């Protein structure tokens, strides 16, 4: 295992509900925290769940995995989040329950022992004012550099709000469709990424492109790409982006080269595509990946 890193992960934890009736723990921030824990990073995960059975199950699962639930708040009023997932032509589609517990993260209950070296957040958990205020307070009190994971889920986002968060980030990860949706929609990905980087003054722009693989633009105006290897097994793409992001953050914290980070992140994302849902409860699944580093 690696040396633990000081990473804080802010945002939603929920259950992904599949057409088969299967319920799998999910939510991009939780998935990333789960992966980072398996890689030895011991992240601080900040979220909120209901006092219902699903909330209790999340707390128990986190504890069993070694992910401390100290900063997972309990909400007696709002239910634990759920998402109905359908898969059409190999791509997941999401129906997200409104007014879930993670929409009401209480800024007054967040007490971190020290400022994190990286503060990760997405965009979904910022759809309601209480959680936006909680993240704002956390940024103000810690001064931590931000890793923004763009997750545009209709109708739960507004362009002006997303642009505000983009302007405050150090690193931004998004997929090629999200780049286009935000107004960078020509056929020249590299020029659009440069414009995106310049507009929001970003250290790195990380764009995932499905079967084409990820591309990264760094502050020195250099592009780095990684073509994916052939898949050994395909089950679904749910959580592949989260797997990529977790390893990318791990690479940042470990001060890996861009080339090593991209290769590892892409490789782990391909491994996650071979399982149902976004995470595994099998330590051997992660050890298999760690052994390749």
pLDDT on residue 1? 40
d(CA 235, CA 192): 32
pLDDT tier, 4 (very low <50, low <70, confident <90, very high otherwise):
low
Task: Please check whether residue 89 lies inside any domain of the structure.
Answer: no
Task: Please check whether residue 90 lies inside any domain of the structure.
Answer: no
Task: Please check whether residue 236 lies inside any domain of the structure.
Answer: yes
Task: Please check whether residue 170 lies inside any domain of the structure.
Answer: yes
User: Helices 53-65 & 28-38, crossing angle to 10 degrees?
Assistant: 20
The enclosing domain of 161 has a CATH number of 3.40.1190.20
d(CA 120, CA 127): 16
What pTM did the predictor assign?
Answer: 0.94
More confident residue, 4 or 131: 131
Question: What domain range includes position 158?
Answer: 28-80+99-291
pLDDT on residue 229? 77
Task: Please check whether residue 1 lies inside any domain of the structure.
Answer: no
3-state SS assignment for residue 153: coil
- For residue range 188-211, what is the model confidence (pLDDT) as tens digits? 999 999 999 999 999 999 999 988
Q: Is the pLDDT of residue 118 over 60?
A: yes
pLDDT tier, 20 (very low <50, low <70, confident <90, very high otherwise):
confident
- For residue range 207-248, what is the model confidence (pLDDT) as tens digits? 999 889 999 999 999 999 998 877 777 776 778 899 999 999
Task: Please check whether residue 200 lies inside any domain of the structure.
Answer: yes
- For residue range 35-62, what is the model confidence (pLDDT) as tens digits? 999 999 999 999 999 999 999 999 999 9
Task: Please check whether residue 118 lies inside any domain of the structure.
Answer: yes
Task: Please check whether residue 94 lies inside any domain of the structure.
Answer: no
d(CA 147, CA 14): 21
- For residue range 123-133, what is the model confidence (pLDDT) as tens digits? 999 999 999 99
pLDDT on residue 189? 94
pLDDT on residue 16? 85
Taking CA atoms, 91 is separated from 61, 147, 190, 240, in Å, by 27, 25, 25, 11
pLDDT tier, 187 (very low <50, low <70, confident <90, very high otherwise):
confident
- For residue range 136-150, what is the model confidence (pLDDT) as tens digits? 999 999 999 999 999
Adjacency order of strands within the sheet including 204-208: 72-75, 44-50, 7-10, 118-122, 146-149, 171-175, 204-208, 215-218, 223-225
Domain count, the chain: 1
Q: Is the pLDDT of residue 3 over 70?
A: no
- For residue range 95-115, what is the model confidence (pLDDT) as tens digits? 999 999 999 999 999 999 899
């Amino acid at each position: 295992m690696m040396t633990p890193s000081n990473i804080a992960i802010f945002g939603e934890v929920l259950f992904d509900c599949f057409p088969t009736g299967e319920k799998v723990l999910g939510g991009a921030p939780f998935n990333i925290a789960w992966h980072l824990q398996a890689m030895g990073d011991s992240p601080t995960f900040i979220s909120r769940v209901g006092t219902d059975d699903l909330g209790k199950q999340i707390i128990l699962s986190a504890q069993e995995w070694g992910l401390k639930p100290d900063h997972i708040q309990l909400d007696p009023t709002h239910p634990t989040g759920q998402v109905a997932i359908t898969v059409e032509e190999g791509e997941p589609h999401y129906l997200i329950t409104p007014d879930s517990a993670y929409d009401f993260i209480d800024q007054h209950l967040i007490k971190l022992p020290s400022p994190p070296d990286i503060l990760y957040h997405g965009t979904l958990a910022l759809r309601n004012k209480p959680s936006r205020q909680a993240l704002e307070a956390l940024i103000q009190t810690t001064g931590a550099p931000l890793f923004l994971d763009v997750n545009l889920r209709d109708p739960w986002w507004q362009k002006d709000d997303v642009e505000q968060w983009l302007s405050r980030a150090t690193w931004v990860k998004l997929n090629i469709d999200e780049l286009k949706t935000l107004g960078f929609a020509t056929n020249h990905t590299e020029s659009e990424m440069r414009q995106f980087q310049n507009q929001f003054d970003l250290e790195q722009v990380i764009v995932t492109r499905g079967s084409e693989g990820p591309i990264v633009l760094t502050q020195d105006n250099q592009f780095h790409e990684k073509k994916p290897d052939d898949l050994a097994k395909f089950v679904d793409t749910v959580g592949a982006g989260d797997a990529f992001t977790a390893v990318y953050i791990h690479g940042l914290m470990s001060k890996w080269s861009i080339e090593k980070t991209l290769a590892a992140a892409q490789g782990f994302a391909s491994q996650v595509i071979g399982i149902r849902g976004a995470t595994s409860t099998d330590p051997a699944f992660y050890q298999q990946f760690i052994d390749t580093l």
